[in-house]
Amino acid sequence: MNFTHQQLHQLLEEKSAFYNNPDFIEKDPISIPHLFTKKEDIEIAGFLAATLAWGQRVTIINKSRELMSRMDNSPFEFVMKASEKEIQALSTFVHRTFQGEDCMYFIYALQQIYLHHGGLEATFSAGYHVNQSIKESITGFREVFFSFEHLRRTRKHVPDPQTGSAAKRVNMFLRWMVRDDNKGVDFGIWKNFKTSDLLCPLDLHSGNVARKLGLLDRKQDDWQAVEKLTANLRLFDPLDPVKYDFALFGTGVNEN
């Protein structure tokens, strides 16, 4: 498709406005953190839901709700106070390749992060503040998250941009936590990040639409593609480029 800059800008704005509203929530994994009002509950529920966010969205939401139920619908309290027996009960939780042992480690690692590293926001912020780099934010978080004894297989569930991964689920989680546009979808509860530094979550749906619109020419959905796509989106809104994730993903899922 050939668009002028102005035409493409108008299209992105219209599609973002169409999908960036509370009607979007119900059928998206972001509905899981929207079950809660306490900051720590929102970020833990969001992190876990984002971790599970691959496959059919209905299944993702159902499995995320199941996990919240197993955590007594109080994720922060569960993370901080669950007994060994209660954590062990998560050994039967499975979503695709995310197995019970992965789930138990995630709870343990989150507990250590809140006890000794200031929580999720502080841990993600540490790397970011080196040079306002989301890549360094994710890398630094991942180093802390896997600094406790764990099975090697669990590492794949927090993607690593240093190896070229698009890290779609982590970038999506950061969008949820950081963006604050009063539209009722993203939460904007993390104030240590600039929205302008966020990177666009990239998956099959958004990548296909981005290529059709001429926003991305790289064939692989990898970290280089994430940076290229976000750089192009900044041409239309340098302060909030990832708002166009709503346009790309919404169009890809609902209109293709």
Please report, in tens digits, the pLDDT of each residue of the chain (256 residues total): 678 999 999 999 999 999 999 999 999 999 999 999 999 999 999 999 999 998 899 999 999 999 999 999 999 999 999 998 999 999 999 999 999 999 999 999 999 999 999 999 999 999 999 889 999 999 999 999 999 988 888 999 999 999 999 999 999 999 999 999 999 999 999 999 999 999 999 999 999 999 999 999 999 999 999 999 999 999 999 999 999 999 998 887 676 5
The candidate with the shortest Cα–Cα distance to 20, out of 188, 247, 202, is: 247
Please state, in angstroms and rounded to a whole number, the distance separating the CA atoms of residues 45 and 41. Answer: 6
Both tokens assigned to 178: 């950081």
User: How far from chain centre, in Å, is Cα 13?
Assistant: 22
Residue 57, both tokens: 């969205």
Domain boundaries, the chain: 5-254
Cβ(215)–Cβ(225) below 8 Å: no
Secondary structure class of 215 (helix, strand, coil): coil
Q: What is the pLDDT of residue 256?
A: 55
Other CB atoms within 10 Å distance of the CB of residue 246: 23
Output the CA–CA distances (angstroms, integers) from residue 81 to 75, 118, 249, in the order listed: 10, 16, 37
Which residues fall within 8 angstroms of residue 179, CB to CB, at 6 or more apart? Answer: 186, 187, 188, 195, 198, 240, 242, 243
Taking the C-alpha atoms of residue 248 and residue 180, their distance in angstroms, rounded to an integer, is 19
Which residues are CB-neighbours of 128 under 8 A, at least 6 positions away?
134, 136, 137, 140, 192, 193, 197
pTM listed for this prediction: 0.96
Residues 6+ apart with CB under 8 A from 140: 123, 124, 126, 127, 128, 130
How many angstroms separate the first and last alpha carbons of the chain?
Answer: 14
CB atoms within 10 A of CB 225: 21
